[in-house]
Amino acid sequence: MVHAEHVRFSYHADKNVLRDVCLKEETGHCIALLGNNGVGKSTFLKCFNRILKPDSGTVLVENLNISKASRKEIALTLAYVEQHTSAGRLTVYDTVLLGRKPHMKMTPSEEDYAIVDNAIERLHLTGLKLRYTDELSGGELQKVMLARALAQQPKVLLLDEPTASLDIYNQHEVMKIASGIASEDNMTVMVVIHDLNLALKYCDRFLLMHEGKAFDYGDISVITSENIKAVYGVNTVITEMEGNKIVIVK
């Protein structure tokens, strides 16, 4: 279970980014964080991982209070994939192996190698594992970062705009993988995402944020034209096509 209670955060004393955000959800769901630019979505995600320390409020993952946890406890509990990933002169295999660092004592064990192999296979990266990450396309690199996070074996996976700058094929591929991780591994996946239709296709919980607060939260029923107008300021029609809910801007 993830539980954020009355989370507040400000970068400057005179400007609150998060005013009072609450969220409570059981494991096994893919949660989309939705709202306009600057509303605090990425900030809220970083407060979960204590990259940013909330000014007040509590973040709990199962029984772990993130504000009181050690960095190792956090690394064993949450994995974070940032929005802009830098490629380095490491192979795909060694990059994914870095995800095992919180679990290692001195050197990687046979279990560590097996977990890395499994993560690489699940992300369809087997043919690339000896390639250097700075030789990869944007979509390939994003899948490597997901594999590294998966190898970390967290309880919660935090993804900050994982589809940004990707082509349509890789947008769907990355979100399909994220959704599959939530359901197959009984993991909580939280995704900052701007494309409402991608979110509707692959996520099953939705946090609508507005003016630094949680405007609404729940299943697909919270995605209404009225809520979208209030949060985004645009008029939309919501329809269905081949079993999928679709948002069309008027």
List pLDDT tens digits, range 19-57: 999 999 999 999 999 999 999 999 999 999 999 999 999
Average pLDDT value for residue range 130-147: 91
Q: What is the pLDDT of residue 2?
A: 93
* pLDDT surpasses 70 at 134: yes
* pLDDT surpasses 80 at 123: yes
Does the global pTM surpass 0.85? yes
Q: What is the pLDDT of residue 166?
A: 86
Phi-psi group of 50: left, alpha or beta (phi > 0 → left; psi -120 to 50 → alpha; rest → beta): left
Contact partners, residue 27, CB within 8 Å, separation at least 6: 1, 2, 155, 186, 187, 188
Return d(Cα 76, Cα 228) in angstroms, integer.
36
List pLDDT tens digits, range 53-94: 999 999 999 889 999 999 999 999 999 998 767 667 899 999
Q: Which of 13-17, 123-127, 145-149, 187-191 bottoms out in mean pLDDT, i.e. has the lowest? A: 13-17
Nearest to 32 by CA among 233, 204, 150: 204
* pLDDT surpasses 90 at 106: no
Residue 31 φ/ψ, nearest 5 degrees: -105, 125
Q: Which of 83-92, 93-102, 144-153 bottoms out in mean pLDDT, i.e. has the lowest? A: 83-92
* Angle at the Cα of 53 from the Cα atoms of 162 and 215, rounded to 5 degrees: 60
One-letter amino acid at 59 equals V
Confidence of residue 139 (pLDDT cuts 50, 70, 90): confident
Query: Locate tokens 């009072």: which residue?
Result: 20
Q: What is the pLDDT of residue 244?
A: 86
Burial letters 50-79, b for 16+ CB under 10 A, else e: bbbebeebebebeebebeebeeeebbbbbb
* Domains of the chain with CATH codes: 2-249 (3.40.50.300)
How is 123-184 classified by DSSP, letter by letter? TT-GGGTTSBGGGS-HHHHHHHHHHHHHHT--SEEEEESTTTT--HHHHHHHHHHHHHHHHH
* pLDDT surpasses 80 at 14: no
Average pLDDT value for residue range 127-149: 92
Do the Cβ atoms of 49 and 2 come closer than 8 Å? no
State the average pLDDT for the chain: 93
List pLDDT tens digits, range 155-212: 999 999 998 888 999 899 999 999 999 999 999 999 999 999 999 999 999 999 999 8
Between 87 and 225, residue with greater pLDDT: 225
